[in-house]
Chains A and B, each alone.
Chain A
Amino acid sequence: MGLKVEDVKAWIMKTNEQIQQNKEYLSELDQAIGDGDHGTNISRGFQETVNKISSTEYTAVADLIKDWSMTLLSKVGGAAGPLFGTALLKFSGAVQGKEEIDYGSFVEGVEAGLNGLILRGKAEEGDKTMVDVWSPLLTYLKGREALDADDFEEAAKAAMENTKNLKAKKGRASYLGDRSIGHLDPGSVSSYYLFSSLAQVIKEEGVQL
């Protein structure tokens, strides 16, 4: 029993809720080391996604995730649009043809998403980008056979918090050099919302993954 269409919809809704609630916070994080529009951009994209998927019927999870990614691509702009959009588009490709996402295909999805991020953003682990959440989480997932939602959420949080210690080498924050140290990477924080929302949905809906 994995993630079905309804569970993925709940995942998107929950992520949107977290992002809308923390919109100002995300922009403040971005103001400290970037240009201050991350919260505005990403919240616009997730709200549009919710509008789109609420009025559409899906039978395949891959189609739902593809719509999610395409909406982000066409509504977010900036760096966050192509990065989240590409990661989710690759995720959707990895779960193509599945009626529900089991643990193995979830891990494949995260791996495909991470590879997409690396390809699009040309970033490596340690550059203080979203990769610093996605990559440690993939390592975490690969070392297990099933998902413990609480433990997974903790791992995502630890990865997100670790970006505070890193010096930015990609994106706007890289222009600050050492001055970027001590600030959380905003894209890593929104990635944390993505994964922690999944953990909450899994707990609330009683999904076995």
Chain B
Amino acid sequence: MKKVINDPNQIVEEMLKGMVAAHGDLLKRVEGTTVIARADAPVQGKVALVSGGGSGHEPAHAGFVGKGVLDAAVSGEVFTSPTPDQVLEAIKAVDGGEGVLLIIKNYTGDVMNFEMAAELAEMEEIRVDKVIVNDDVAVEDSTYTTGRRGIAGTLFVHKLAGAKAESGASLAEVKATAEKTVANVRSMGMALTAATIPSTGKAGFQIAEDEMEIGMGIHGEPGISRDKIKSADEIAETLVQKILDDGVHQSGDEVAVMINGLGGTPLMELYVLNGKVNDLLKEKGFTVHKTFVGEYMTAIDMAGLSVTLLKLDDELKELLAAPTNTLGF
């Protein structure tokens, strides 16, 4: 393992320290916690948004804290959801009197820890509601699983619910926007290598030099198939087709596209893939309203990427265009 680290056990703490040192105008650390909040939190009279998850997904989640997106992000250990007491600290730090919406990715640990935090917050008489993001179409049969995972599409939920909250909407309205986004967003990923978790120093899974994993999760959970590596065009076709097969996006729709790098794939390759994704969508009768290419929700040093499609309507387009002041958007 070759990494710029001191002590694997201190990596989250040291990362948060460095992040605040770089962006103190925008972010603040809630003292004694793993919570990063907006520098001006709590914003009185505004619904607050809290999200988070395991570390190693930077810039998610703290990189989306700021005006127009999240009020706070809670960091867990690497690839491990944060604990309920830390989520509670985030809720308390950002509640501006209008309630708090928790945006949770559908992983068992995230759901349980955030739900426990919500129960604790309610005991302290803070209004809390939640939305669970499950955009990953790689998970096929949700009858027998805990459902689809939440991956990069979560960033669209942060963005749109964040804009809605910033506009002064109520907790119920912000939740409705978040749920509409969840209903309209689908993602699919692929990996060329596994991530190396600092505490173990080992790759999360074994994959041959000439192979790719289709549909893995953002921690390297196995995907739906392992194939010989294909060209960027073929990868684009596979990922887009799998998303369209899900049936949420139909010819004629206007969409936002996100090509998300997982940490070990250069922008050059993300742009190569995006060219084909845009062509494919046009061929199939879609209008691409806006495209995001870059690293939004990474998996440490994993080489690979995900494609996300968000179906837009007038409300969502307006919210997507609303100004933000965060590192990630």
Contact = CB atoms under 8 A, between A and B. Distances in A.
Interface string B97-136: 0000000000111001100100000000000000000000
Interface in A148-179: 167, 169-172, 174-177, 179
Interface in B80-111: 80-86, 107-109
Contact of A175 (B77, B113, B221): B221
A41 B77 contact: yes
For chain A, what secondary structure do more than half of its interface residues adopt (helix, strand, loop), or is it mixed? Answer: helix
Nearest to A81: B83
A40 interface: yes
Nearest to B218: A35
B108 A37 contact: no
A79 B76 CA distance: 12
A90 B112 CA distance: 16
B141 A177 contact: yes
A74 B83 contact: yes
Chain B: interface size category: 20 to 34
A161 B199 CA distance: 28
B112 A73 contact: no
A78 B109 contact: yes
Nearest to A45: B83
A121 interface: yes
Question: Across chains A and B, which 7 residue pairs bring their CB atoms closest together, nearest first?
Answer: A174-B145, A79-B109, A82-B112, A35-B219, A78-B109, A77-B80, A79-B108
28 contacts: A35-B79, A35-B204, A35-B217, A35-B220, A36-B197, A36-B220, A37-B78, A37-B199, A40-B77, A74-B83, A77-B80, A77-B82, A78-B113, A79-B81, A79-B108, A80-B109, A81-B109, A82-B109, A82-B112, A83-B112, A120-B116, A167-B144, A169-B144, A171-B108, A172-B108, A172-B219, A172-B221, A179-B222
Contacts of A34: 221
Contacts of B144: 167, 169, 174, 177
Interface of B: 54, 76-86, 107-109, 112-113, 116, 139, 141, 144-146, 149, 197, 199-200, 204-205, 217, 219-222
A27 B205 CA distance: 12
B77 A77 contact: yes
A76 interface: yes
Contact of A176 (B85, B86, B222): B222
A75 interface: yes
A190 B108 CA distance: 18
B146 A170 contact: yes
A37 B197 contact: yes
B146 A35 contact: no
